[in-house]
Structure 1
Amino acid sequence: MARAGINKALVQRARDALLARGEHPSIEAVRVELGNTGSKSTILRYLQELMQDEPHPPNICLDDELQAFIGSLAQRLAADAQAAVAADRARLQRQQTAYEQQRAIDQARFEQLQAVHRELSVERQEAQRREQKLNQRLQEMEGERQRLLVSEQHDLQLLEERAQHIVSLEQKHRQAQEALTHYRQQHLAQREQELQRHDQQLQQLQREARQAQEQWMSKQEEMTQVYRDLERLSTEQQTRAQDLRQQDQALHRIQADNERLSKALQVAEVGRQVLDDEVKFVRERAHRLLLERRQDRKALRHMAQQLTQLHSLLAKLTPV
């Protein structure tokens, strides 16, 4: 089967060129002249047609030996041509077989590449879905992180307010203790002064009574004066008894004040205990808030690590 572009005119031109150079127009020479194109069987057919088209000289009777030689030569040429044609056909068959095999391999490779392309498309779609989910998860985690930051700021503000409240309570407690101590010291000092004054008055009365008794025993002759003195002393004693009663009433008032002071001390002690309990509760609350803050910070660090891992995984999954 002739290739495209090989025809009888091209073969004739190649043969004429060879003859002009004084070369024999064999099949191989013509094929080389044509640029190694065209099959040998086609070139042989065109050469035979050109030989038949050319005018032949009149037949000359040759001897049998020459005719036998020419017939043998023609047979050898025909055999060579047939062998060349057979070789070309075998080569073409091998080329066609190799082409078919290569085509089958290319088809299988193409189908494999299509399958790989489909798998990669599926994986890419899956990666895009995972990327969307990861972006959504990232947004959710970012919202959670913002919420935790707001909660941490609120807890810090609450902790500062609690600390200020604790400081205020401690100041109030210290002021109450100082006021109670001052009141107690003043009351004790006043009571001690009144007791000293009462003791001094009692001692003075005792001294005066001894002096009066000595005067009554030593001076009986002066009974009238003594009676007058006794009346005076009686009056003074009544006055002093009244003073004693007033002092006794003052002592009762002091005792009542002391009881009231004791009750006030008890109330203040109860208030101090309540304040201590409240301070203890506030401190425990502050400790719990600090622990929760530490846990929130640990959770934030853990979320930051997860975000870093998610970003790394997202960078790996994102196609270049």
Structure 2
Amino acid sequence: MKHSGDAKQPFDQDGMVRLRDEIQGGVISRRQLRELHARDHDIRRLVRSREVAVIHPGVYVNHTGNPTWGQRAWAAVLVCWPAALTGRSALPSPPERGPIEVMVPMSRTVRAPGGVVIRRRARFDGYVDWAAYPPRQLLAEAAIDAAVDAGDAGEAFSMLADLVQTKVVRTSALLEALRRRPRMRDRRLLRELLEDLKDGACSVLEREYLRRVERAHGLPAGERQVADSIAGVFVERDVTYVAYGVVVELDGRAFHGSAAARDADHARDLDAAVTRNLRTVRLTYGQVLGDPCRTATRIGELLGHGGWPGKVTPCIDCLADRD
């Protein structure tokens, strides 16, 4: 709709309500009001009667209280228009607190109002889902950008793993998005994280077991996230060495799980031992991160009892301890 504010066209107040409340979560911009033929005195009347309140310069919300996250998101996009949510703000479960991140084309220079962070992106056209409400960066692209801005590798991996586990994005899509970023900061680390996800590690503890215990010490590659049903209860095992009758569960809940939950875990372990001839070992953060070499040695011995012909190989830390 073209810009219009002349007296020949009456202000479409019903259209304003539909756009503001039914589509944009209670938020509307001055530009949109002008497109609905509102004149300056119409906008002043809306503010005076408290039908709208200023949330950013030229952007209004339909109440005078604290805006919701969704209203803050819409307001951030509209005040920077054309713009789209980016990074963590574009993910399915964005942080409720903190600034809203929006992206604009690299060619634009936009001043960020309070509570908004502006990212100038070379990858703008073709990388925005304009059908989303509000518009946002394509999910795989947003996830890669959010991972780069994470505090550390553990935080980045946890965020990416949550997205993959909840099936909102595939690991292959994330790898493809990363492939299109040959000059991205921390690209090698991100690729390692995504390759670990592709190999089945779906939590920080699982990733550290894969890297520090299994790979670093030459243990055989286990099968990850294996679905099974024991006594009518569906389970998904973290790491299964089927040929050697061993299951490794990475117990990241050890410090906050309830007694009932722990009892249920151990009951399933007992059922698996009886019905599947699988011996289950539960490892904690301390065993994986604090003493991976000893843990690898013990897992290797357990696999050997099950028929594994291999031998645990020393890692760099193991060799250092011998000096």
> Structure 2-normalised TM-score?
0.17
Q: Which has the higher contact order (CA 8 A, sep 6+)?
A: 1
Task: Please identify which structure carries the higher helix content.
Answer: 1
Task: Please identify which structure carries the higher strand content.
Answer: 2
> Structure 1-normalised TM-score?
0.17
